[in-house]
Amino acid sequence: MLGRPGTALTTLFSNSIPKVQKAAVIAKTGEKVQIKDDHPVKQPDQLKPGECLVRLHCTGVCHTDLHASLGDWPIPPSVPLVGGHEGVGEVVAIGKNTMGSPVKVGDRVGIKWVAYSCLNCEQCRKGLEQNCADVKLSGYTTDGTFQQYVQSWVNIVTPIPEGISSEAAASVLCAGVTVYRALKQAGTVPNDWVALPGAGGGLGHLAVQYAKVMGLRVIAIDGGEEKRRLCMDMLGADAWIDFTETKDIVSEVKRITGGRGANAAVVTAASSGGYTQAVDYLREGGTLMAVGLPAKAQLNASIFFTVFKNICIRGSYVGNRQDAIEAVNIAASGRVKVHYTSKPLKELERVYEDLGKGKIAGRVVLTM
Ligand code: NAD
Ligand code: ZN
């Protein structure tokens, strides 16, 4: 029994849910991804109350998935693991005895990094669902979206509105949500300058667009002609700095901003280089939003200038359910577009190689 009228159906096409599926599995961190076609599918009768099964249409590939497969971070992922946390698909089953489900079988939903949070602890009540003590992370501590069917939780999946395709919505679920929230927290007002190191990547190219929606002026910082064209010609950034060619990024940011410096920086570079000069090119009272998560990196900032210039340095980690709904709705309105290339799931290892070399402008979205 479900708590909402019209939701009594707990399984769609129950006999069409296969026992096995295609999945990309990492046996151990540091090892190559194995593409399997006999990975088990959780069956509807194995779902607990509150759980659902989602048949995925597609999934984005985030640099976080590469960090996970390499074991880059101090908290290791659970292995063996199916990675991925930017999935869109449809609910095909809901656990028996689920009460008050906000979604029903047949609904299109998104799977984001936070797969589960209790919604009742102090952090959840404060809106920090990503810091819930019982949090489960898609593609890190619970199997994620690099498979055809993923088990999830009815209260946490993100409803996907009409007017946006699954492929166009997928990368909003992590890249979009993360930069949207970081920009909201950057303390800017319209017409302020925001510097975006990493602007040509998955998170960064969406940051350029959310920043423009918020009325900010954007300095896109990344490397190479393809990313310059994406940021300047297609996304409408106001200025471009190529970090691979520009010797003095601080002077260049100051020149662009009339000598004053940027009001905020949202760093989405996956290398620590993107962080190094940010405190120096921010103007007094500016905010550095730390988003990119390079392996084994420390944030080196001058204590003197951080204090003297009243700089705020703030970490920002994905977003909660409301951030996800807001970010997806802005994308569905057509004002933010994911620039993606579609590839089949079996190409994942090659996508990781390209991500590691900084070769992907925008995102890759895998089809199932
Ligand atoms: P990506 O590889 O698509 O983009 C990173 C971009 O940074 C690339 O375009 C690269 O050329 C650029 N870059 C590298 N060094 C640079 C430098 N010195 N200056 C300017 N640009 C530079 O990766 P992505 O998927 O966008 O993820 C970016 C980072 O954000 C990763 O570390 C990822 O784990 C992290 N991330 C954090 C959160 C969070 O919640 N904070 C969420 C998702 C991803
Ligand atoms: Zn991600």
Identify whether residues 343 and 311 lie together within a single domain.
Answer: no
- Collapsed DSSP state (helix, strand, coil) of residue 334: coil
- The pLDDT value recorded for residue 16 is 87
Nearest ligand to the CA of 64 is: 1
User: Mean pLDDT across the stretch 280-303?
Assistant: 95
Which 8-state DSSP code applies to residue 344? E
Taking 70 as the threshold, does the pLDDT of residue 8 lie above it?
no
Identify whether residues 109 and 122 lie together within a single domain.
Answer: yes
Residue whose CA is at the smallest distance from ligand 1 atom 9: 201
Taking 60 as the threshold, does the pLDDT of residue 12 lie above it?
no
What domain range is 197 assigned to? 186-315
Mutate to test the pocket of ligand 1, among 64, 135, 181 (most ligand atoms within 8 A of CB): 64
Give the Cα separation of 224 and 245 in Å (integer). Answer: 9
Q: Is residue 99 part of a domain?
A: yes
- The pLDDT value recorded for residue 9 is 61
Taking 60 as the threshold, does the pLDDT of residue 252 lie above it?
yes
In Å, how far from its chain's centre is CA 65? 10
CATH code, domain with 115: 3.90.180.10
Write out residues with Cβ below 6 Å of ligand 1.
62-64, 67, 174-175, 178, 197-198, 200-204, 221-223, 227, 243, 268-271, 273-274, 291-294, 316-318, 355, 358, 360
For 146-281, strand residue ranges (E) read 149-153, 158-159, 193-197, 217-222, 239-242, 262-267
Q: Is residue 259 part of a domain?
A: yes
Identify whether residues 308 and 279 lie together within a single domain.
Answer: yes
Return the percentage of the chain with pLDDT > 70, whole number.
Answer: 96
Identify whether residues 202 and 257 lie together within a single domain.
Answer: yes
Tens digits of per-residue pLDDT, 24-57? Answer: 999 999 999 999 999 999 999 999 999 999 999 9
The alpha carbon of 28 and the centre of ligand 1 are apart by a number of angstroms equal to 23
Give the Cα separation of 328 and 160 in Å (integer). Answer: 7
Query: In 10 A of CB 140, how many CB atoms?
Result: 24
Identify whether residues 95 and 148 lie together within a single domain.
Answer: yes
Residue 83's closest CA among 110, 62, 52?
62
- The pLDDT value recorded for residue 15 is 62
Identify whether residues 348 and 335 lie together within a single domain.
Answer: yes
Taking 50 as the threshold, does the pLDDT of residue 298 lie above it?
yes
Identify whether residues 305 and 237 lie together within a single domain.
Answer: yes
Q: Is residue 204 part of a domain?
A: yes
Residue 202's closest CA among 355, 52, 16, 24?
355
Mutate to test the pocket of ligand 1, among 177, 222, 313, 338 (most ligand atoms within 8 A of CB): 222
Identify whether residues 242 and 286 lie together within a single domain.
Answer: yes
Two tokens at 294? 């390079």
CA dist 284 to 143, 303, 313, 315, 333, Å? Answer: 44, 14, 12, 19, 35
β-pair type (193-197, 262-267): parallel
- Give the predicted TM-score (pTM) of the model: 0.96
Check if the beta carbon of residue 128 is closer than 8 Å to that of residue 298.
Answer: no
Going 51 to 64 to 66 to 220, the CA torsion angle's sign is: positive
Check if the beta carbon of residue 213 is closer than 8 Å to that of residue 336.
Answer: yes
- The pLDDT value recorded for residue 13 is 53
Tens digits of per-residue pLDDT, 269-288? Answer: 999 989 989 999 999 999 99
Tens digits of per-residue pLDDT, 144-199? Answer: 999 999 999 999 999 999 999 999 999 999 999 999 999 999 999 999 999 999 99
Q: Is residue 1 part of a domain?
A: no
Give the Cα separation of 241 and 220 in Å (integer). Answer: 6
Q: Which of 315, 333, 353 is the last residue before a domain boundary?
A: 315
Number of structural domains (the chain) is 2
Q: Is residue 220 part of a domain?
A: yes
Give the Cα separation of 135 and 118 in Å (integer). Answer: 7
Where b means 16+ CB within 10 Å and e means fewer, 227-262 reads: bbebbbeebebbbbbbbeeeeebbebbbebbeeebb
Contacts of residue 296, Cβ cutoff 8 Å, sequence gap at least 6:
72
Identify whether residues 162 and 45 lie together within a single domain.
Answer: yes
Q: Is residue 178 part of a domain?
A: no
Residue 217's closest CA among 243, 240, 250?
240
Q: Which of 277, 293, 315 is the last residue before a domain boundary?
A: 315
- The pLDDT value recorded for residue 14 is 58
Angle at the Cα of 188 (from 325 to 201), degrees rounded to 5? 60
Mutate to test the pocket of ligand 1, among 208, 243, 293 (most ligand atoms within 8 A of CB): 293
- Collapsed DSSP state (helix, strand, coil) of residue 275: helix
CATH code, domain with 215: 3.40.50.720
Burial class (CB in 10 A: 0-12, 13-18, 19+), 96: middle
